[in-house]
Structure 1
Amino acid sequence: MYVGIAVNPVAGMGGRVGLKGTDGKVTEAIERGAEPRAPDRARRTLDRLAAVAPETRVSVAADPMGESIAREAGFDPVRVVDPFDGDAPGPTATTAAHTAAVVRAFAGIDGPDAGDDPENPAAGPVDLVLLVGGDGTATDVAAALEGTDVPILGVPAGVKVYSSVFAVSPEDAAEVAASFSRTERREVMDIDEDAYREGEVNPELRGVAHVPVADDLQSSKQTASGTVESLAEGVAADVRDRDGEGVTFVLGPGSTVGAIKDELGFEPSPIGVDIRRDGEVPVRDATEAEILDALGEENVVVVSPIGGQGFVFGRGNPQISPAVIRRCDLRIVASRAKLDDVRALRVDTDDPDLDAELSGWVRVRVGKFETRMMKIV
C-alpha cells in the first residue's frame, strides 16, 4: 500500500471558539485562542496505520502539511512536493492552492518537486490520498483530482463534515486504508459557512470522488422529516422543572434542540450552543471556554444526532468539547424519523478514551414522554 497524506492544518480551528467553521476566519479563530486540530487527527491516523500496516509506504508534503507527523508516527516518508518552494509558512497560513498542489503531486499529475529529485523520487501515483480536514478540504482535493481514478479518504478534522468521503474516526480511516480492495464514487458536499453562521443549512454537491468501499464511512448528511413539537414540549417542561435548582443546561445546535429553545421562550442562536439556568440565558452562541465558565455543580448537555449520520458529538458541535462533556450529564433527543435514518449513533470527540466511555446503549428521548434505546458504536 502506498498512501499520500495531505494535512490541512487550519481545518476545524474555528469550531471550539464558536465560529462554526474556519473558511475565511483563521485570523479571528487565532485571536479567540483557537489551536490547530488537524495535526493531532493526522497523528492518530498514522499511529494506527503504523500498527495495522507497518509496511505502508507514505508520501508527504513539506511541513506544516504532514511530513513531521508521518516521521513521528514511525514512517520514513518520501516528500514528493514542497508547495511552499522551501519557504514554509506558519502552521495556519496554508491555502486551497497548497492542498491542490500536494494532491496533484501525489497523483503524479504535476506539482513542485514531484519526481524531480533522483535520490528521493516519488514512486508513481499513490494508491490512496488520505486528506485530513473538512468539507472544504475534500472539495479542494476532489477538484484537483478530477479526471483521475486516484481514490481519496477523509480523516474528519473539520467542524461540519457533511461529505460521504470521510471515515467515522481517524482510527477507522487507517483501518480502511489498510484493508480496502475496491472503490466507489461518493459525494463531496459543502455549505456556505457565512449562511451557516446565520442558521441556513443547505449542503450542496461540490464534487464526486473515488472512495474505498467500507462500512466505517459516514453517509452524506440528510434532512430528517417529521415534527418535533411534542418532543420539544416534553423536554422544555423537564428543564423548567429544574428552575431554581441551579442546574446548568448546555443546549446544543440544530433544529431539534432549536425547537426546545423556542419552547423555552428564547430565540436560539443560529446553529450555536446556548446556556440556560434557572429561567435565564446567561450565554448565547457560546464558545468552549464560555461553556466551561458557565458550568456549575450540576450540568446537563442536550444534543441531537445529525440526521443520516447519527453523530452525537464531533460534527457541528465542537464547542461541546471533551472537557465540557466530562462535566455534564448527557441527554440525547431526536425525532423518530431522524432515528429511522440511522443504524447507530456515533461520537468523535477528539478524545478516544471518552469515545470509548460514551459507547454502548443509551436512551434517546423521541417524544413528550417516549424514549428509544440506541447504541453508540
Structure 2
Amino acid sequence: MFKIGLIINPLAGLGGSVGLKGSDGLAEQALALGAEPRALQRTGLALAELAAVHQQFTVYTVAGDMGETVCQALKLSYQVCYQPQSGLTTADDTKAAVSQLVAQGIDLLLFAGGDGTARDVCAVVPKNLCVLGIPAGVKIHSGVYGVTPAATGRLLAKLIAGEPVSLLSAEVMDIDEAAFRAGLVQAKRYGDMLVPNDLSYVQSVKASGVESDELVLLDIADDIIERMQEAPDHYYIMGSGSTVAAVMARLGLPNTLLGVDLVHQQQVVASDLDAQRLYQLIHDKPTKLVITLIGGQGHIFGRGNQQLSPQVIRSVGQENIWLLATKRKLNALQGRPLRVDTNDPQLDQALSGLMRVVTGFNDEVLVRVANPEFEA
C-alpha cells in the first residue's frame, strides 16, 4: 500500500485576492479583508486525480484543515498523525507535522501551499524523501510544485500505479515579501528537495538495440564511478549481472558475472564471495551495495544473488543500496513493481516502498518495490 503524507497550509494564498502580494504573517489581515481560503479546494482538485488508484494508497495527514477535512470530504482512507497547536496554523505546525508524517514511513510527502510552505517543509524533510507540491500560494517561485493541482495529482497517480518516474532535485526559492510589497523582487534559495518528474521513456541516444543499451550502460557506469570517487574509503559489493559488469569493465577490473565481488579503492579485494565470507569482510566497514534487477522478472534479491543474505543486506543498510537498470529494462516490466525474496519476510517488508534506480549519468527514477503478500 502506497503511503502518502499530506500537509495543507490552509492559509496559503489568502493574500493574493486582496492585493497583499503574499500571506506570510498577514493571514488575519487577509481574512479581515474578505479573503477566502483556497488551499483546501486546490488540494481536492489534486486528490481527485487519484480516483483510479484509490484502493492502492493510504493518506497520513494532520487534523482539521491541514489535511483531515479534505480526506473526509473525498472519503479517502486516512490516518491523523498530528494535531495543530492552535486554530490559526503556523510554520511550526508544518514543521512538526512533517516530522510526524516522516515517522510513519511515508513514500512521498504531498503538501499544498506556496514558497513559504515549501521553505518550512525543506527545513525538516529528509533529503532522500520525495515531495510534491500542490500550488496554492500567492508566490510560486520554487521548482517543487506541479504546474496545476490536477497536473500534480496526475503525476502522483502515475507513481502510485507503479510507473517509473524520474527524480529531480528542485530548488526551493522564496522572496522577501516586505521588499516585494515595496516593489523589489529579492529571491533567495533555501535548499533543494527531491521531487518526482515526468519520465520520457525514450532513451537519450538515437541508436537502437544492443548499441543503444551499451551506450546507456556506459552512462550508468560513469555515474557509479563518480559516486565511488566521492567516497573512496567505502567498500563496494558488486552484485551479479551484466549491468554491474559494465561498471567493473569501466573500472578495468575483473568481474564475476554470476557472482559477487568486493571492491575497495577501485581494486578487487575478494572475488566470487559466499554470504558468510562477504559478511565477515564488510560487517564493520562503511559499505555500498551495487546491484541490478532480473530483466523481465524484476527481482532485486533472491534470484541468482543469494550471497546477498539478510545479514549482509542489514549490515549494509537500505540507504546504501545502489540499484542500476536501463529505462528499457524498467519499461519492460510494464508497470509491475520490483520484487524482493530474501527468505526473511521482515526484511522483505522493510525493503518495500519506493527505491531510487540509477538509469544514466546523473539520472535516476523512482520505482516501487512491492511483494504481493504485503499489498493490502
What's the TM-score once normalised by structure 2's chain length? 0.50
Q: With structure 1 as the length reference, what TM-score do the two structures score?
A: 0.49
Determine which structure has more spread, i.e. the larger CA radius of gyration: 2
